Amino acid sequence: MNYYDEIKGVLVKNEVYKKVKDYSKNRSDLNAYFEVGRLIVEAQGGEARAKYGNKLIKEYSIRLTEELGKGYTERNLRNMRNFYIKFRKWYAVRTELTWTHYRVMLSLTDFKEIEYYMNIAVIQNLSYRELRERIKSKEYERLGKDINIEEPKVNTLIKNPILIKVKNKNERLTEYALHQSILENIDDFLKELGIGFTFAGSEIKIQIGDRYNYIDFLLFNVKFNCYVVIELKITEMKAEYIGQIMKYVSYVDKHIKEMHNDKTVGVIICRKENKYVMEYCTNLNIFVSTYETI
């Protein structure tokens, strides 16, 4: 079998198809590059030996560039080979994404992690640059690995740690300074929290009994139709923080949320976790995460 001619034929057919049927060129690209990857692996003697066969890829790259033009560098052909190796179960590929999206994911080795980023990119309509930033920030690791992104719950959206932009990440911040940093970068903070978060206010003054209290941040999640109370703490998690945020959550449920809204969620963002404290929290709508400054 002449593998080079087979590969060239697939690529030529793909170029022609894209010019005639522009509306489906993305699927055509993925099909073509997957098939090229398969042929390269076979030409190199199978998957076990493929990663050592860069001499053949160099030869193919030179010939394809001379005969078909730019776009078939050694790096691109290696990407096609790796694309086939990682996604050889073709049904796993989401054709709503572009070839560039998949190139961004080729560095990942855990298929559950790849699947997460594929799905989140489709659901949130992420550009490849946005997807690259999500991967760079290790979002999957911070969410934990028991994730069902098809039917997410609020707690699956709370990353750990949460990354907060500040002017000087080496400076020890007060709660006020941390609060101000979030306000100055509120859009980034909402994106960091996850899907569907909107800003409803900060330092919300509420009266409980004869005392006034202040909610650090009140958000609303449009996907889950619920208010979200955010409390910032620059210390380790303490038991009294749970009691405090539970009062705030109850207040929002009673005085702010509408009948059609779901129950309010509380999130304590602290410097350091204390899992022993959380064992005594029976409210399933209260979550704790740590923060890191960037």
Give the E-state strand segments of the chain in sequence order. 162-164, 197-208, 211-221, 226-232, 265-270, 286-293
Six-digit token string for 199: 């800003």
Whether 210 and 172 have beta carbons less than 8 Å apart is answered as no
Look at residue 226 in the predicted model and tell me its pLDDT: 92
Six-digit token string for 107: 């560095």
Q: What is the CATH number of the domain that holds 232?
A: 3.40.1350.10
Same domain, 65 and 171: no
More confidently predicted of 187 and 172? 187
Same domain, 197 and 121: no
Confidence of residue 91 (pLDDT cuts 50, 70, 90): low
The answer, yes or no, to whether residue 52 has pLDDT greater than 60, is no
* Window from 78-82, 125-129, 282-286 with minimum mean pLDDT: 282-286
Backbone angles phi, psi at 199, to 5 degrees: -85, 125
Helix (H) or strand (E) holding 5, with range, is helix 3-20
In this structure, is the dihedral angle defined by the CA atoms of residues 102, 79, 132 and 269, taken in order, positive or negative?
positive
CB atoms within 10 A of CB 274: 15
Same domain, 112 and 38: yes
Same domain, 48 and 107: yes
Instruction: Report residue 15 CA to chain centroid gap.
Output: 32
Residue that finishes a domain, picked among 147, 166, 187: 147
Residue that finishes a domain, picked among 81, 112, 147: 147
* Helix (DSSP H) and strand (DSSP E) numbers for the chain: 14, 6
- Domain of residue 260, residue span: 155-293
DSSP state of 262: P
Residue length, the chain?
294
Residue that finishes a domain, picked among 90, 116, 147: 147
Same domain, 32 and 168: no
Q: In whole numbers, what is the pLDDT of the chain averaged over residues?
A: 85
Average of per-residue pLDDT across 1-8: 85
Same domain, 171 and 190: yes
Six-digit token string for 181: 């940093």
Same domain, 160 and 142: no
Look at residue 151 in the predicted model and tell me its pLDDT: 46
Same domain, 20 and 87: yes
Instruction: Report the C-alpha gap between 189 and 285 in whole angstroms.
Output: 20
Same domain, 122 and 167: no
Give the model confidence (pLDDT) of 126-152 as tens digits. 889 989 998 999 888 887 655 555 444
Same domain, 112 and 169: no
Confidence of residue 280 (pLDDT cuts 50, 70, 90): low
Average of per-residue pLDDT across 83-105: 85
Same domain, 190 and 222: yes
The answer, yes or no, to whether residue 72 has pLDDT greater than 50, is yes
* Window from 5-19, 60-74, 143-157, 258-272 with minimum mean pLDDT: 143-157
The answer, yes or no, to whether residue 10 has pLDDT greater than 50, is yes
Backbone angles phi, psi at 45, to 5 degrees: 95, 20
Q: How many domains does the chain have?
A: 2
Buried b vs exposed e over 100-115: b needs ≥16 C-beta within 10 Å?
ebbbbbbebeeeebbb
Average of per-residue pLDDT across 195-215: 92
* Window from 43-57, 64-78, 164-178 with minimum mean pLDDT: 43-57
Same domain, 90 and 183: no
Confidence of residue 169 (pLDDT cuts 50, 70, 90): confident
Look at residue 1 in the predicted model and tell me its pLDDT: 74
Give the model confidence (pLDDT) of 30-44 as tens digits. 989 999 999 999 888
The answer, yes or no, to whether residue 276 has pLDDT greater than 70, is no
Give the model confidence (pLDDT) of 105-118 as tens digits. 999 988 888 988 98
Average of per-residue pLDDT across 57-70: 90
Confidence of residue 156 (pLDDT cuts 50, 70, 90): low
3-state secondary structure of 232: strand
First to last CA, the chain: 54
